[in-house]
Amino acid sequence: MTRQERAARTRCELVHAAAVLFEQQGFAQTTLNGICREVGVSSGALHFHFENKAAIANAIEEKASSTLRHTVSRQRPRRAGALQELIDTSHVLVAQLRDDLIVRSGVRLSHDIARQGGPAFRQEWQARVRALLEEAKEDGSLAPGVSVAEVAATVTLATVGLMALGRSDTEWLSGSSVTGFWRLVLPQLAGADFADRLDPCGAAA
């Protein structure tokens, strides 16, 4: 392994160790010494990569953001209009929160008031929910009489609730609660031509 490869591996290990500690203890309680101890490196080695604790947190948040942004903005095959794409995207999001440590830690950090960061991803997600619902109105997967603003708000409430509940109890991230939500609201939302084709379980599974 070259020196460069070793450095990249150490950086990666530091980010992962920090993600675990931030998730367990929050930003304020986590120390640089604690992170070094987990990885088994000196504080000099840590400072070679990161100036301070905030710099590591930023690295985690940026990586989580870019993963989520990619998930959310990705065009999926339109099985049954934009409404199905919204359902599928919500399932992928929840699966990522469940399975990807960096995503989970990044979302946690962006809600940690001690960090004074903003819930930036949340706003992007809200914008995407709204955009997909507008498209669904166009393509007919969303029924004509339905208020996009009202549905967007309800989808946002449910998904943000899931992120909040999933932080203390990962049972919520199993996917069945997303399915249950969609099953409950779909009959009100589905356009006539799409009612039989929309699948509350999503395509992620």
Q: Which residues bind its own copies (CB under 8 A)?
A: 25-26, 28-29, 108, 111-114, 118-119, 122, 147, 150-151, 153-154, 156-165, 168, 172, 177, 180-181, 183-185, 187-189
- Residue whose entry in the numeric block shows the structure tokens 């992620």: 204
Give me the least distance between CB of 153 and its own copies, in Å please. 5
Compare residues 63 and 122 and give the one whose CB is closer to its own copies: 122
Give me the least distance between CB of 118 and its own copies, in Å please. 8
Give me the least distance between CB of 31 and its own copies, in Å please. 13
- Residue of 90, 43, 98, 57 whose CA lies nearest to 71: 90
Compare residues 10 and 156 and give the one whose CB is closer to its own copies: 156
Q: Give the separation between CA 131 and CA 84, rounded to whole angstroms.
A: 13
Give me the least distance between CB of 65 and its own copies, in Å please. 17
CA distances from 34 to 20, 38, 112, 204 (A): 11, 6, 19, 37
Contact 110, 121 (CB under 8 A): yes
Give me the least distance between CB of 189 and its own copies, in Å please. 8
Compare residues 44 and 144 and give the one whose CB is closer to its own copies: 144
Residues 6+ apart with CB under 8 A from 51: none
CA angle at 152 for the pair 129 and 115, rounded to the nearest 5°: 70
Give me the least distance between CB of 139 and its own copies, in Å please. 20
Compare residues 42 and 147 and give the one whose CB is closer to its own copies: 147
Compare residues 12 and 127 and give the one whose CB is closer to its own copies: 127
Torsion of CA 160, 94, 69, 199, to 10 degrees: -100
Compare residues 11 and 167 and give the one whose CB is closer to its own copies: 167
H or E, element range at 19: helix 3-25
Q: Give the separation between CA 100 and CA 18, rounded to whole angstroms.
A: 14
- Backbone dihedral angles phi then psi of residue 190, each to the nearest 5 degrees: -65, 130
